[in-house]
Amino acid sequence: MKAVVLEKHGGLEQLKYVTDFPDPRVTEGHVVIRVKATSFNYHDVFTVRGMPGIKVPLPMIIGLDMAGEILEAGPGVSGWKPRDRVLVNPLNQQKGLMGEMMHGGLAEKCLVAEHQLIRMPDKVSFEEAAALPVAYGTAHRMLVTHKTVKSGDKVLVLGASGGVGTGCVLLAKMLGAEVVACASSADKIKRLKDLGADHVINYKETDFSKWAVEKYGKPQRRTYEGGVDVVINFTGGETWAPTLRCVKRGGKILVCGATAGYGPKEDLRYIWSFELQVIGSNSFYDENLKALMDMIQRRELKPVIDAVLPLERAAEGLRLIESREVFGKVVVTP
């Protein structure tokens, strides 16, 4: 079958498009699916580079998020049959992540455990479904499952133009929040405004923390005046300390990653002085993905997809992710 294979860690040049990779063979408790769409996440960049403490069995077909049709069901599989449309939860409960510990979605076919299958509603496309798990699933868990955003909240989203970011913007608006979206270029700023953000900041030109203080007032320790209610920060690095300075007393900082560094400069005084809540979200669950697909089915949500590429151009798509040139998600259709 055709596939994109990581042969060794390094740069994107280590991803090889091949036409003769062995087809997966169905096993007990598993199905083989025809992959119809898969989407990239920044985690795929980390997989290609190699991550400390994670030993990827190479060669590896990368790609966490995927949707497709069942081709064959193995012994012990019940309730599923060929041609059923499925979204795959990329977390295998026994082995780990698809595209990292076992072959992922950048191929024509993929072997998937039965417990990872989620039935797709009729009006949800493969491209829309494949855009959901890591990005929108995480955003849904942060905002909806944890009940961290309510109507009228002022919510500032860092990295708002990526997959998780656009998901957060859309969901925060659905929840009735006033959304401040931060991105790095004039084009992304315009597209975020078109997406529904109430305010937009080019963080390369404007200090987002100072902007928030000027707009909403300086957070007060004795009252609940000033600052934003929520900052969504999965960037970390140099954005962490400024985040602490613009959140109101009792406000929330939502964290699901640290793409710019996980060991930032810290100032614990803000945590206790302003009674700040730092709330982590790790991954997502089937319930998040089902809820998101139901939103798409009801036409309440439309995932932001920047590009849909054929399998042979997959490395080009991951380059867009790595260089942060993308707005929303990049989808590949094997």
Q: What is the pLDDT along the chain (334 residues), one digit of tens a residue?
A: 999 999 999 999 999 999 999 999 999 999 999 999 999 999 999 999 999 999 999 999 999 999 999 999 999 999 999 999 999 999 999 999 999 999 999 999 999 999 999 999 999 999 999 999 999 999 999 999 999 999 999 999 999 999 999 999 999 999 999 999 999 999 999 999 999 999 999 999 999 999 999 999 999 999 999 999 999 999 999 999 999 999 999 999 999 999 889 999 999 999 999 999 999 999 899 999 999 999 999 999 999 999 999 999 999 999 999 998 999 999 999 9
The pTM of this model reads 0.95
Q: What pLDDT was estimated at residue 163? A: 96
pLDDT at 34: 98
- Inter-residue contact 98 to 92 (CB < 8 Å): yes
Question: How far is Cα 252 from Cα 13, in angstroms, rounded to an integer?
Answer: 40
Place of tokens 């190479």: 58
3-class SS string, the chain: CCEEEECCCCCHHHEEEECCCCCCCCCCCEEEEEEEEEECCHHHHHHHHCECCECCCCCEECCCEEEEEEEEECCCCCCCCCCCEEEECCEECCCEEECCCECCCCECEEEEEHHHEEECCCCCCHHHHHCHHHHHHHHHHHHHHCCCCCCCCEEEECCCCCHHHHHHHHHHHHCCCEEEEEECCHHHHHHHHHHCCCEEEECCCCCHHHHHHHHHCCCCCCCCCCCEEEEECCCCHHHHHHHHCCEEEEEEEEECCCCCCCCCCCCHHHHHHCCCEEEECCCCCHHHHHHHHHHHHCCCCCCCEEEEEEHHHHHHHHHHHHCCCCCCEEEEEC
Q: Which amino acid is at 239?
A: T
Short-list 155, 239, 166, 143, CA closest to 199: 155
**CB within 8 Å of 12: residues ≥ 6 apart:** 48, 315, 318, 319, 322
pLDDT at 172: 98
Q: Which residues contact 206 (CB under 8 A, 6 or more apart)?
A: none
Q: What is the reported pLDDT for 259?
A: 84
pLDDT on residue 308: 98
Strand order in the sheet with 228-232: 199-202, 178-183, 154-157, 228-232, 247-255, 277-280
Determine the pLDDT at residue 111: 98
Tell me the β-bridge partners of 30. Answer: 113
For residue 263, give both structure tokens: 């060991």
For residues 178 and 197, what is the distance between their CA atoms, to the nearest angstrom? 8
Write the Ramachandran bin of 246: left for phi over 0, alpha for psi from -120 to 50, otherwise beta. alpha
User: d(Cα 86, Cα 34) in Å, to the nearest integer?
Assistant: 10
Q: Considering only CA atoms, which of 328, 332, 285 is closest in space to residue 310?
A: 332
* Rounded CA separation 239/259 (Å): 11
Separation of alpha carbons 275 and 244, rounded Å: 11
- pLDDT tens-digit map of 222-253: 999 999 999 999 999 999 999 999 999 999 99
User: Per DSSP, what are the bridge partners of residue 91?
Assistant: 97
Tell me how crowded residue 59 is: count the other CB atoms within 10 A of its CB: 15
